[in-house]
């Protein structure tokens, strides 16, 4: 089984509120289907999640009543995004089912709690493809919070023990500096905890869940001697397909297991 996260940077335009990249999602769903792999899919929030969440500081938990309509609206926007992703997976021939974290899971002080994986495992056992996503999730201490798709990937990694975990974004992998702002930046084919410290501190995007820096930390925690964890560019046609088929492609592989 391969765990795949379709990042908000590739499935949406992160600079424009609620802008879905249908063409890219359609192609990526076909690449996943054509690869023939058994997949569990997670997706990020992009401009359906981060814009309003940031405006109302939802990531810090409940602080004032004016956040409540925003929390409801972000959950609504994320469900709309999720249904659009599911629709493309169904059209590609994958039996995708939605597992909304805001209704199925809890957090405790920002940590995702998933005591009972029965829903997910039942879907997978039947041959359905669970699709989970970053969401507004209730929190035992903070009222609510934002659970990122990357946090979900880490928890699903413990539940499914996948052979590989793949993060799809809109750039070739991890660079020494943000490649969109620094044309001369260099791609790092492999990353370790030590190497991550040397990457530019301008690593976070305008994002409530920590950007690519937090993503690399999640990836490093998910690696093991048996499992590669790879960041790949989903905007290049065929690259995800080749990676899923086992070919070596331009990407960044997290190495080294736990800290
Ligand atoms: P989301 O969190 O919404 O699901 P995502 O999973 O696609 O999004 P991002 O957090 O948006 O991931 O991270 C990818 C973005 O990080 C890229 O679009 C890139 O511009 C930006 N970025 C900043 N610094 C770097 C860096 N050093 N290397 C690679 N990408 C970087
Ligand atoms: O895009 C965040 O998930 P991510 C989801 O995976 C929301 O970081 C609701 C902002």
Output the 3-class SS for 55-85. HCCHHHCCCCCCHHHHHHHHHHHHHHHHHHH
Q: From atom 31 of ligand 1, which residue's Cα is the shortest distance away?
A: 178
Domains and CATH numbers, the chain: 2-254 (3.40.1160.10)
Confidence of residue 199 (pLDDT cuts 50, 70, 90): confident
Nearest ligand to the CA of 149 is: 2
On whether the CB atoms of residues 166 and 3 are closer than 8 A, the answer is yes
- The answer to whether the Cα torsion of 151, 130, 167, 255 is positive or negative is positive
Which pLDDT score, from 0 to 100, does residue 128 have? Answer: 98
Closest CA to 127 of 160, 96, 99: 96
Beta carbon of 218 within 6 Å of any ligand 2 atom: no
Nearest ligand to the CA of 6 is: 1
Which pLDDT score, from 0 to 100, does residue 211 have? Answer: 84
Q: How is residue 80 written in tokens?
A: 């709309």
Confidence of residue 248 (pLDDT cuts 50, 70, 90): very high
Ligand 2 mutation pick, 53, 82, 134, max ligand atoms within 8 A of CB: 134
Lining residues, ligand 1, CB within 6 Å = 7-10, 44-46, 50, 149, 169-171, 174-175, 177-180, 199-200, 203, 205, 207, 209, 211-212, 215
Which pLDDT score, from 0 to 100, does residue 258 have? Answer: 54
Average pLDDT over residues 50-78: 98
On whether the CB atoms of residues 173 and 231 are closer than 8 A, the answer is yes
- Name the helix (H) or strand (E) containing 48: helix 46-55
The pLDDT tens digits for 128-153 are: 999 999 999 999 999 999 999 999 99
Rounded to 5 degrees, φ, ψ at 5 are -110, 120
Ligand 1 mutation pick, 16, 169, 198, 215, max ligand atoms within 8 A of CB: 169
Considering the chain, what is the average pLDDT of its residues?
Answer: 95
Q: Distance, CA 50 to ligand 2 centroid (Å)?
A: 6
* Alpha carbon distance 27, 118 (integer Å): 31
Residue whose structure tokens are 């996948």: 162
Q: Please state, for a pLDDT cut of 90, what percent of the chain lies above it.
A: 88
The pLDDT of residue 236 is above 90: yes
Beta carbon of 44 within 6 Å of any ligand 2 atom: yes
Q: What predicted TM-score, i.e. pTM, was given to this entire model?
A: 0.96
Closest CA to 23 of 219, 178, 234: 234
């Amino acid at each position: 089984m391969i765990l795949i996260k379709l990042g908000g940077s590739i499935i949406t335009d992160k600079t424009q509120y609620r802008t879905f990249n249908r063409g890219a999602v359609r192609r990526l769903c076909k690449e996943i289907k054509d690869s023939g792999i058994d997949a569990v899919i997670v997706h990020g929030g992009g401009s359906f999640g981060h814009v309003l969440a940031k405006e109302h500081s939802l990531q810090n938990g409940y602080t004032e009543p004016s956040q409540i309509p925003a929390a409801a609206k972000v959950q609504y926007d994320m469900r709309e995004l999720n249904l659009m992703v599911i629709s493309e997976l169904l059209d590609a021939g994958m039996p995708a089912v939605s597992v909304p974290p805001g209704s199925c899971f809890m957090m405790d002080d920002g940590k995702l709690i998933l005591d009972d994986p029965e829903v997910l495992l039942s879907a997978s056992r039947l041959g359905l493809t669970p699709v989970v996503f970053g969401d507004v999730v209730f929190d035992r201490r903070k009222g609510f919070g934002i659970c990122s798709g990357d946090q979900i990937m880490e928890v699903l990694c413990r539940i499914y023990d996948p052979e590989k975990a793949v993060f799809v974004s809109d750039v070739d992998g991890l660079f020494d500096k943000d490649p969109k702002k620094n044309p001369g930046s260099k791609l790092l084919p492999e990353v370790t905890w030590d190497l991550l410290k040397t990457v530019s501190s301008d690593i976070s995007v305008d994002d409530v869940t920590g950007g690519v820096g937090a993503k690399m930390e999640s990836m490093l925690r998910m690696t093991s001697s048996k499992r590669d964890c790879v960041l790949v560019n989903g905007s290049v046609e065929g690259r995800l397909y080749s990676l899923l088929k086992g070919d070596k492609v331009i990407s960044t592989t997290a190495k080294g297991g736990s800290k």
